[in-house]
Amino acid sequence: MSNESDDVKRWTARRKATAVMDILKGKTTASELARSHDLTVAEVEQWLEDFVSMGTEALRSHPRDAEARHKAEKKELLAKIGELTMEKEVWMIARDILGKPLPDANS
């Protein structure tokens, strides 16, 4: 009866991860898990593939670190845009006061 109540439960991400860990630890196999929970072996193998690929991705870069780098880069780029905008305004004021054209972008 407990197996029947397990099958009624939704396969949440946490529950899938637990099942995948059991397979990785050798406690069960993909085919045993599929058979005991009325799943296809392909479904279970896809969970394994997703788990391993995302685990690899998580080891490449921690999302918080990537977000912090992105924010720092954005701040730096916005500061550069502000600097260039001010520089352009100074040149335009100088042009108006002195009556001289703006410098050529190639010089």
pLDDT in tens, 20-46: 999 999 999 999 999 999 999 999 999
Number of domains comprising the chain: 2
Q: Taking the CB of residue 1, how many other CB atoms lie within 10 A of it? A: 5
Mark whether 24 and 35 lie in a shared domain.
yes
pLDDT in tens, 89-102: 998 888 888 886 66
Higher pLDDT among residues 53 and 64, named by residue: 53
Residue-range definition of the domain harbouring residue 15: 2-60
What is the structure's pLDDT at 96? 86
Mark whether 6 and 55 lie in a shared domain.
yes
Could you write out the DSSP letters of every residue in 7-27?
HHS---HHHHHHHHHHHHTTS
Q: What percent of the chain clears pLDDT 90, i.e. is strictly above it?
A: 52
Helix then strand then coil, in percent of the chain rounded to 5, is: 75, 0, 25
Q: What is the model's pTM? A: 0.49
**Domain edge (last residue) among 60, 80, 99:** 60
Mark whether 51 and 75 lie in a shared domain.
no
Q: What is the mean pLDDT of residues 77-94?
A: 93
Mark whether 46 and 83 lie in a shared domain.
no
Mark whether 54 and 70 lie in a shared domain.
no
Mark whether 15 and 51 lie in a shared domain.
yes
Q: What is the mean pLDDT of residues 50-56?
A: 83
What is the structure's pLDDT at 8? 52
